[in-house]
Structures are given as structure tokens and as C-alpha cells.
Amino acid sequence: MNWRKFLQDAFSALQKQAIPNLVIDIRNNEGGADEVIAFFVAIPRFQTHCHGTH
């Protein structure tokens, strides 16, 4: 699966539908690649907020 194309297509669909907010909950996710997170934070049209659970 081409995750980069999948995410680009998904964000494009959200933008076309004028979806104003998106919450991505990655709590308790111990796996994954740093490049995926880098992809999200590099999207200029989305304001990101990180909230820890301390």
C-alpha cells in the first residue's frame, strides 16, 4: 500500500468536502515510522496540536 498517496487522497477529499477539523488519535500506538508523522506535520493547511497524557 502506498500510504503517502492514500493520505494525500484522503486529505484532498476532506478539503473538497470542507471538513474543518480532523482528530487523529495515536495514543497507545507503539509502532509506526517517523516519516508518517513528518508527513502530517508538514501539511501547511492543517494546524496541529499535540496533547500528552501525563
Q: How far is CA 17 from CA 13, 14, 34, 41, 43, in A?
A: 6, 5, 29, 21, 17
> Using the 8-state DSSP alphabet, how is residue 28 labeled?
T
For residue 11, report the phi and psi dihedrals to the nearest 5 degrees: -65, -35
Which pLDDT belongs to residue 33?
A: 78
Which pLDDT belongs to residue 49?
A: 58
pLDDT digits (tens, 9 = 90+) for 4-46: 899 889 888 988 999 888 787 777 877 777 888 788 778 766 5
